[in-house]
């Protein structure tokens, strides 16, 4: 059985990596997160919600990026980086408030 403590950690952080002998051994996540990953949705394992990291398939049939799609990708990446920084800052505030 899964302990209540482990359930609480998964609920709080979304995904946990269990380390054994200094190597990642298992990943523990909610069923909804795993289900989303299995059906190839862009699910952020840390939150279980749809990831902001989507739409990066800006490649033509030859496998090359064109200039416009490359610039669009950079813009999306910059926005995603900014959003992720905000999420990290929010989590840090939550964690420091719980200490």
Burial of 33 (0-12, 13-18, 19+ CB in 10 A): buried
Coil/strand/helix, residue 39:
coil
Query: Tell me, what DSSP letter sits at residue 55?
Result: -
| Residue-level pLDDT, tens digit, the chain, 99 residues | 568 887 888 778 778 888 888 888 888 888 877 777 666 555 555 555 555 444 444 344 454 545 556 777 788 888 888 888 988 888 888 888 876
Q: Are 11 and 4 in contact (CB under 8 A)?
A: no
Structural domain boundaries of the chain?
1-51, 53-99
The C-alpha atoms of residue 55 and residue 61 are separated, in whole angstroms, by: 16
């Amino acid at each position: 059985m899964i302990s209540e403590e482990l359930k609480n950690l998964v609920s709080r952080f979304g995904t946990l990596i269990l380390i054994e002998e200094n190597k990642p051994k298992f990943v523990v996540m909610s069923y909804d997160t795993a289900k989303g990953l299995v059906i190839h949705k862009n699910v952020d394992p840390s939150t279980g919600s749809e990831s902001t990291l989507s739409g990066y398939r800006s490649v033509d049939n030859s496998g090359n990026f064109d200039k416009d799609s490359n610039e669009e990708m950079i813009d999306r990446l910059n926005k995603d980086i900014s959003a992720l920084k905000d999420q990290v800052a929010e989590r840090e505030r939550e964690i420091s408030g719980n200490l």
